[in-house]
Structure 1
Amino acid sequence: MRALGGLWDTTRGMTVLRDAGYTPNEKHVRRTYRRLAEAGLLTKVQDRPVQYRVESGAV
């Protein structure tokens, strides 16, 4: 995510995972974003539709 940068929403997360050979569902992507935000790696920037951005100091 850090290498790609920009804003991340459910659609983008699903697309990236599909391109990598996975078959994600929306619920999984949203849950993963919430966990990454709780860990301080993402910041929620919009509620509806939900969008996150990668924290600049994230590894």
Structure 2
Amino acid sequence: MRTYDDLRKRALSAPELRAEYERLNREEFASLDAMLVARRAAGVASTDIAEGTEASAATVK
């Protein structure tokens, strides 16, 4: 049985797959970073976001 790390390393050894993986990561992380910066600038804590939902503050971060 292979581990996740083994499968990930094998999959990312394919140049086309690796390029797409990196592109998606750049775009997704840029969006996430922008949301976190805006939330912090507004003075909103993760607990504020979690309040009233079923999510815990640890889930929201």
Q: What TM-score, normalized to structure 2?
A: 0.29
Q: Which has the higher helix share?
A: 2
Q: Which has the higher strand share?
A: 1
Which gives a bigger RCO, structure 1 or 2 (Cα 8 Å, sep 6+)? 1
Q: What TM-score, normalized to structure 1?
A: 0.30
Task: Please identify the structure whose Cα radius of gyration is greater.
Answer: 2
